[in-house]
Structure 1
């Protein structure tokens, strides 16, 4: 902890010194020039448009700026006469000659018209950095990253600062797994979010927004924050698109197409892709079983080889209709399917207390799965003027069906009897309906009012069957392990927030109210549970702009993490007969109060963002391991299940930077360190009728870091390499060991820059292993490691038609893409 405090103090001293060094004598004679740039047809703001002011009497007197997300710009000039140029890629530039600027002046709203002669040119444009750092979020541009070519959304997230994807696919933000996933601003409808993200191809993703401390506008769900995955939607006039094909080892191949056709009134866009993936891996666990006095009872080694294959198809089709210059209606249909086979070959070795071999057994689990998902979304937006005054309506309906079947064969090698055969089957059906409306009303002097309503209604049915196969091949259902779960969740929410400016300070104050009505029903056992609760979620943000390059922000929000999925499901996971998992339908939601103090500094070639954060969570979810009283060949069966603990405090520091030392070299990196203090006791009665107290008080300190380098080599070959590190972390019942991984990729434009070849290697050294130690006094000591996916090599080919490689397309703010953001 001392090292942590010292690091933070030194860093903020560095920040202060850098500010002092950057500040020169005040330029009191300068005056401000402001304005707004919009698309002439749609009246939508144009982000990243450039404004240049040249003093007619002093050629060296040049000033300018770049528009923000609202199309607004601000520049400081010495009083005089200027020639002004406004430019944006694929639009006709505008020049204002001999403009006299003697006092603070607004140029008003300036409309740019698309230049048809540029729309079909295939040229290489200058591009933004891969990671754009803002005060309230980080925006990751997927198209610039070579590492994710031919990959999935999970590969995309694994390359984003602040985000980590473990070797078994679990996603965390700043080391916290309680994340709210959004797709185009709407919650994902997937039953298993980790698996669903591995099905969506990276080529369908435009960018990802990382929001660590969301305002009241967003859902309160997700104690760690929000990851908003924004899908591609073509915006260039005419017919354009791209085709991508890839092949890799272990056996992987796929193809996808992104096509866009736009007229003055209609914009049609579609992304379609198919992929086949083979992901081999392994898992091993070495367990020492203990007597109550701490002496050794026996040893069991569990070694398993896993083979996962999947065939996935994803189709996204949308149409945007410009009803009027300020009125838009967008409809999108998505269909996603995935079929796969998972095979686990498990070998158990049994040893006595002296580690002398006793016997062996095998267990084979052949699992097949079939998943289908459909979703329809609609958005209607009415802009009342060019200043951000608007009203929007959103609606969506989705249905997800998952069927999983497996055959489990147990063979005890020391016996001559026939192997035991079990069958399991899971049928999950989920439907979800969402409706939402948002209203944004800006006032003069940068003030803005927002309000809205959202309803989210979901129903999930999980029919789970476990059956034994007798010696005659007949299937006999096991009533002790089979059941049907019905989960219903109805959430209604209202929010309002108000933002205003005062001198160099900007304020955003909000309040959200959510009413939750949840039912968890076990139909076979007639066990019905209903949870109803209402909560208020305040948020507050204060930003201080020391200069155009330097800003500070202080924010607070309250968040909720509702237990879902496998956490609530009381069915036993039957993949192992001695280490089983069971959900807990009595779990309560956890509440988190989040505080964040951020600093953002921009130099000419460097952008630095730092953040110190504190999170206090009550009723946190923690997994406990308990004896069941059952034995398999003399080995005790251990049950893992989630419970609510009393409190968790997390204090951390994060640093993110973008650095471009040369035009041919771009660097970005992130570093995160945090300390977790957990307090809580768990009391239960074991199978012998004895009351047992487990104390979960623990302290954990961990670090993680990531660095990414992109270099343009001779012959215009792009080379990208990154390395990520997750440090060791203490848990309530053990320790997670450190993990290091390295990825690299090369690409080359061919066919007059209409096509690109890319080669990437994921996990170059095959070192991404999840390693864990577990210590439970009087029960077990164990060591385990798992490799979810072995090293992968991928070759991809991209062909573009009527589309520039790095077009800065004009942005149309869609629902969830930051519309109505109050910017200081």
Structure 2
């Protein structure tokens, strides 16, 4: 009853009464019943809208009850247009009805959109990749593979995109990729961790833009991935609730709900998850100078509990909805602990056993973020003429506390007792103004401003006990308070035109001013950098016909070092194998060229692309000796530095193929050739100067195939298979990775519910395997961030059919299609 009353109240606000007639005019009551034409089942909570036939002014409205009945009072008799609506049904209208007295309209028969059902199923129910010349749009839809998963799982299903075992995202094999959420940079302190926390059910679609124009942020040498969150647009109160359970532990519940009237749209996404991601690491390392061989084994359990909530309201500021204002608040809170057991079996080089050292690392962490976003869009009378303003203010915090205990297993002898504390804070504000003006017959002018202001601090401390009974003392080499301030202001302009109805040209120029402060507060080491850069872009497209297009694109990009790449203080999970950031890193610049060809047939869409990325000062990870020993073992540092050149040449082919009505395939193949040039020098543990040459050439390829089959009894079967070939690096090689996911689903409860089962990493094979050779150290490693997982989910839709496809949110108009963010 409460649900029905709430629904009726929200939908009643759709209609406003017209001017009252003279008191002497007669009030009338309009009644009837709304039923399904085919099944004669009542269509509960259907929407009724009544307008004056002559003025088209809304005078009243309401909803049917749970039995399909309705009763609506009209202030006066007259001629009216009456409209009956419900998602999944054709709109039924009774035009110019003369209502002079109480009238029963009888049974109103709503007909399902059966003549459109195949198209709707392909776009709304099935996971598809919409291939366009300037981007690929991945519609998450009812993707069976990501039920109960996270954004990382979604990205790992997308052609051209890969997510490695540590959560790092790459595009066409290039990790210099910019992640946007609703067209804005992710506000998370650690983007990889944030993508593993945000539920997949909150995503509507993902845009992959390999060569962005000047209207986009210049950040991201490899391209841009834009994650668009759900904002329901169906009229009335409707939504989806999803519950999941899995092994290893993956329990959660989420809800996407919206309520839309003629004047506003309310939307919310709320989710809770409780997960464990167990992982395994194996490292075999030869230390030639120390005459030791170490077998390092890590077993880790990552327990996380988290809440994500988004509340928003889109207001239509005028009757024609040409002006809209959307405000939303996003909140995220995730906490948990990580239990990591590390075992070091120590041998001499000829494999004589020495001892076994045990290291137990227990970490508690909590992250919290809140963000307010505001978006205003004004569309003018001329088609395409509009003004857009965006603002975003966010606060983030990550707290991490670790206790690390070390001992010799054979004797129980004390080795170490350490504590680490990491307190991260980040504030980010973003303001953007965009203006689009079409003029002439086939010309369009664009201009805009963007200001991004980020202030982050990382207070890191490591304490240790020298002996078991000693108090904790500070380790100066790791403890510091690190501050990073990044202010980027940008203006851009673009001019597009079309010749002969076939040739389109879009030229743009973006100017960015970057002001950086990289400060180590405890050591009073302050660094300030300020630089201006121009980023031109040019896009030429020729349309042979509606189904065949050719494009030639160029843009200049920048990749700024951030997060762990510039913070010199490592995570300290292993005291002999560390990662340290480099605060002196300079940004890398990329000249990106792309030649594309798109061809569509009745059952096949084929996109091919040849690309060239020329990067200067690119980031490369060097694995080196720090120059000291711990228990006779040299400490190995993994740290980034600016390489001279990193050039990539590649070819990519993406295809969507419908073999049968019940069988659809999506496939992607990417091949690239990589050439680097540069040197790196460091001092080893014997105080010798070592020069490493990073000149090398290598090639690799990847392939991905997604098959979706409809089995008898309407059971959907989805298979995702992918292979990332091995690649040679300057210090060794990485081996190929083959993996497969499976999923099945079945609709229940008259298609209002769906039960799905998915198996992630069927063969438990998704591991990063590296074989590295240094002058004094050889290392073989296998890392598996997450073991095979099985997840069961149940989806329930209310007032919303499975084949519903939300209208395109106005808030995203500037990001979809032309991608005008």
Q: What band does the TM-score fall into relative to the shorter chain?
A: 0.7 to 0.9
Name the residue aligned to 1:333.
Answer: 329
- The two structures have a TM-score, normalised by structure 1, of 0.84
Name the residue aligned to 2:33.
Answer: none
CA distance in 2 between counterparts of 1:220 and 1:822 reads 14
Q: Does 1:313 align with 2:314?
A: no
Contact 1:559 1:591 in 2 (8 A): yes
The alpha carbon displacement at 1:283 in A equals 0.3
SS in 2 for 1:168: coil
CA distance in 1 between counterparts of 2:793 and 2:453 reads 40
CA distance in 2 between counterparts of 1:535 and 1:116 reads 63
Alignment CA distance shift 1:116-1:271 (3 Å):
farther
SS in 1 for 2:564: helix
* Residues 379-528 of structure 1: pairs in structure 2 closer than 5 A: 379-385=375-381, 387-413=383-409, 417-469=413-465, 471-472=468-469, 474-503=471-500, 504-528=502-526
CA distance in 2 between counterparts of 1:816 and 1:181 reads 19
**Match for 2:276 among 278, 284, 288?**
278
Q: Does 1:264 align with 2:262?
A: yes
Contact 1:230 1:817 in 2 (8 A): no
The alpha carbon displacement at 1:473 in A equals 6.2
Alignment CA distance shift 1:419-1:138 (3 Å):
same
The alpha carbon displacement at 1:439 in A equals 0.2
The alpha carbon displacement at 1:236 in A equals 0.7
Name the residue aligned to 1:547.
Answer: 545
Larger Rg: 2
The alpha carbon displacement at 1:690 in A equals 3.5
**Match for 1:371 among 350, 361, 367?**
367
Residue-pair matches, total? 713
1:304-338 superposed Cα distances (whole Å, 9 cap, x missing partner): 11111100110011100000121000001000011
CA distance in 2 between counterparts of 1:476 and 1:190 reads 32
The alpha carbon displacement at 1:782 in A equals 1.1
State the Cα RMSD in Å. 2.2
Spell out structure 1 runs of 4+ moving beyond 6 A: 88-91, 115-124
The alpha carbon displacement at 1:471 in A equals 3.4
Name the residue aligned to 2:199.
Answer: 201
SS in 1 for 2:623: strand
SS in 2 for 1:144: coil
Contact 1:154 1:169 in 2 (8 A): yes
The alpha carbon displacement at 1:472 in A equals 3.7
Contact 2:326 2:811 in 1 (8 A): no
CA distance in 1 between counterparts of 2:819 and 2:625 reads 54
Contact 2:480 2:520 in 1 (8 A): yes
SS in 1 for 2:232: coil
Name the residue aligned to 2:59.
Answer: none
Unaligned runs of 5+ in 1: 1-40, 42-87, 95-114
CA distance in 2 between counterparts of 1:500 and 1:126 reads 36
The alpha carbon displacement at 1:93 in A equals 9.9
Q: Does 1:793 align with 2:793?
A: no
SS in 2 for 1:814: helix
Contact 2:457 2:482 in 1 (8 A): yes
**Match for 2:643 among 630, 640, 645?**
645
Contact 2:90 2:110 in 1 (8 A): no
SS in 1 for 2:291: strand
The alpha carbon displacement at 1:573 in A equals 2.7
Q: Does 1:358 align with 2:354?
A: yes
Contact 1:185 1:816 in 2 (8 A): no
The alpha carbon displacement at 1:572 in A equals 2.8
Name the residue aligned to 2:298.
Answer: 304
SS in 2 for 1:673: strand
Name the residue aligned to 1:127.
Answer: 122
SS in 1 for 2:441: helix
The alpha carbon displacement at 1:370 in A equals 0.2
CA distance in 2 between counterparts of 1:638 and 1:321 reads 57
Alignment CA distance shift 1:678-1:473 (3 Å):
same
- The two structures have a TM-score, normalised by structure 2, of 0.84
Name the residue aligned to 1:802.
Answer: 799
Name the residue aligned to 2:317.
Answer: 323
